[in-house]
A = this chain, B = another copy of it.
Amino acid sequence: MIQTSIITIGDELLIGQVIDTNSAWMAQQLNKSGIRVARRIAVGDVWDEIWTALDEESKHADIILITGGLGPTADDITKPLLCKYFSGKMIVDEGALQNIITIFTNIHKLPIVERNLKQAEVPDNCKVLLNKRGTAPGMWFEKGCKIFISMPGVPHEMKGMMLDDVIPLLNNYFQFPHIAHRTLLTAGVGESFLADLMVDFEKELPTNIKLAYLPNYGMVRLRLSSTGSAIQSTEDEIQQYFITLQKIVAEFLVTTEDEPMQQVVANLLKARHQTISTAESCTGGYIAHLLTEKAGASSYYSGSIISYSYNAKESLLDVNHSILETKGAVSEEVVIQMAKGALQSLRTDYTIAVSGIMGPDGGMKDKPVGTVWIAVGNSDKILTEKFTFRFDRTRNIELTATNALNMLRKYILSLS
């Protein structure tokens, strides 16, 4: 089987200043084409360490994808290193040069400085991959029977190059096996409990099919993966096991697609031509952000009122001042009033209202950090639930969003 390694280059990855989102995206795209990523490795902008990584990864893999270190500045050493590694000579590539001139003239509308022009230089023994979104060209090297492809680290430049050139070229070069995945999402149940339900199922799985548990903020995704040479038989076989899997977890099943909770809610609303709004306190707009992250949100999402202060709760959502004073902002009464206020001002079919103490400070004796009240509903009915999460602010914001969306999902389904 053809193996791939991804090498990401940059000191910022090793001191944790930047989270590597590139290699996850690359792995996703490669997988769709049946290209297995066996290893991902990050090294700093250090000559010997990059050199060693190239040596080692070419022992493990047939395809070595490299991102980063192609910028115009002195800390970017990937290109001269690759030139030396493959014993090439630097030459100016006319296509890359024209591309740089076009980008500066038409898009940046800025004068070109010398170091930008230098980005048109490439080793003479590589195939140049044009970068339509930036000035650093990609480079395709062959050594023995191994392929090395160097791409810029800027995400949208790398993504364009992967889709336009790298994946089509690899598909021409190799014959890849078929990799099939099926993913479903469960909520409201732990990994261990699910595993106990799954004992017999796991025993019966053939060796070419693997089951993985992916827990994430109150949800567990289950993924079946299968490798085979023929598309149809691989797909048929995995589909049969996937149907069984769905039956086993039916009670906790959110979706049989590899999509997040907010997409499930969005799809329910779109199918019903209905709309949603949110009234958020503790999540500070995060639920609205999740609902609008993907294009097309305007068909089901109208707006939100983020009422962080008492004042905003009263003036925008008509929450009663004396209830805020007596019950506190984190209370069942207040989230009900917030939900009603949002339905009234934003005139949507459904709404979600949340109020809680996200931490790490602000806890009280009867309302410790992690206390959250959630209300979901429509003009007929408002359902409420109290949750007690724990200490981590980011996690509490995520868990509040997940549970609120799941409550609404169940409520919508209960109506149909």
Contacts and interface: CB of A to CB of B under 8 A. Distances in A.
Interface of A: 10-21, 23-29, 31, 36-45, 49, 52-53, 56, 60, 71-75, 108, 110, 113, 115-116, 154-156, 181, 183, 190-196, 198, 202, 210-216, 221, 223, 225, 258, 277-278, 280, 283-289, 291-298, 301-309, 311-312, 315-316, 345-347, 358-362, 390, 392-395, 397
17 contacts: A12-B212, A13-B24, A15-B181, A17-B183, A18-B216, A19-B21, A40-B42, A71-B191, A73-B191, A74-B202, A75-B210, A108-B190, A115-B196, A283-B289, A285-B288, A293-B397, A294-B393
Contacts of A359: 295
B392 A156 contact: yes
Contact of A345 (B181, B183, B214, B315): B315
B225 A15 contact: yes
B303 A307 contact: yes
A277 B305 CA distance: 11
B393 A72 contact: no
A284 B293 contact: yes
A16 B11 contact: no
B154 A215 contact: yes
Nearest to A329: B298
Contacts of A73: 191-192, 194-195, 198, 213
A14 B37 contact: yes
A284 B308 contact: no
A378 B345 CA distance: 25
Contacts of A390: 156
Given A10-B212, A12-B214, A40-B42, 9 more contacts: A11-B225, A16-B28, A17-B214, A20-B24, A56-B56, A71-B213, A75-B212, A110-B193, A295-B361
Contacts of A285: 280, 284-289, 292, 304, 306
Contact of A192 (B115, B194, B221): B115
A27 B14 contact: yes
Nearest to A26: B16
Given A21-B19, A41-B40, A74 B195 contact: yes
Nearest to A153: B215
A247 to B, nearest CB: 19
Most buried by B among A15, A53, A393: A15
